[in-house]
Amino acid sequence: QERRKYGKVGWNVRYDYNDSDFAVSLRLIDTYLEKAHNNGDTTIPWDTLRYLVGEVMYGGRVTDDADRIIVETYMQEYLGDFLFDTFQ
């Protein structure tokens, strides 16, 4: 009852994610990282990975605008060069 007066915060809709979504996302990340390493690339295509994981794998099911912002925030927070920073 108390929560209702603040409106919708966080995940507003229950989404039907499953283990295969996670497995395919991991495979995508692994493929891109391995390809970048094998090609000797000095940069990792984080924008592409964020799009594929956040928009294609998970975001395709997100129907609420506030939830879409949450997915985008998680992608920015967890996928980037900062993953390899030793000072974090």
| Run of H or E including 24 | helix 19-38
Q: Say if residues 72 and 54 touch (Cβ distance below 8 Å).
A: yes
Pseudo-torsion of CA 78, 79, 80, 82, nearest 10°? 30
Measure the CA–CA gap between 43 and 14, rounded to whole angstroms: 36
Q: Say if residues 50 and 76 touch (Cβ distance below 8 Å).
A: yes
Measure the CA–CA gap between 71 and 59, rounded to whole angstroms: 7
pLDDT, tens digit, 9 for 90 and up, residues 18-69: 899 899 999 999 999 899 999 998 888 889 999 999 999 888 888 888 888 8
With tokens 């060069």, the residue in question is 81
pLDDT, tens digit, 9 for 90 and up, residues 53-66: 999 988 888 888 88
